[in-house]
Amino acid sequence: MLGILFNDKECKELDYVLRKELDEMLLDLNDSRLDGDIKTAIARRYKVIFRMYARIATPKELSRYAVNMRSYR
């Protein structure tokens, strides 16, 4: 296990970057032009980024990004 300390500004920046990445991946997952293999890879990455975001987000903020990943497999 690794640990890292962030000051307030860095924590806000990390929050912003993770939210933007999740938003982009959600758009990609809903894009009908992408095939199943690509969506599967995006869904796997989404899970990792979501778990990172879950460590710093409030439950209310987190609920916005909680999706049923079974539909993207």
Count Cβ atoms within 10 A of the Cβ of residue 60 and give its class: 0-12 exposed, 13-18 middle, 19 or more buried. exposed
pLDDT score recorded for residue 69:
60
Residue 72's contacts (CB-CB under 8 Å, 6 or more residues apart) are 29, 39, 40, 42, 43, 46
pLDDT in tens, 17-46: 999 999 999 999 999 999 999 999 999 999
pTM equals 0.85
- Average pLDDT across the chain, whole number: 91
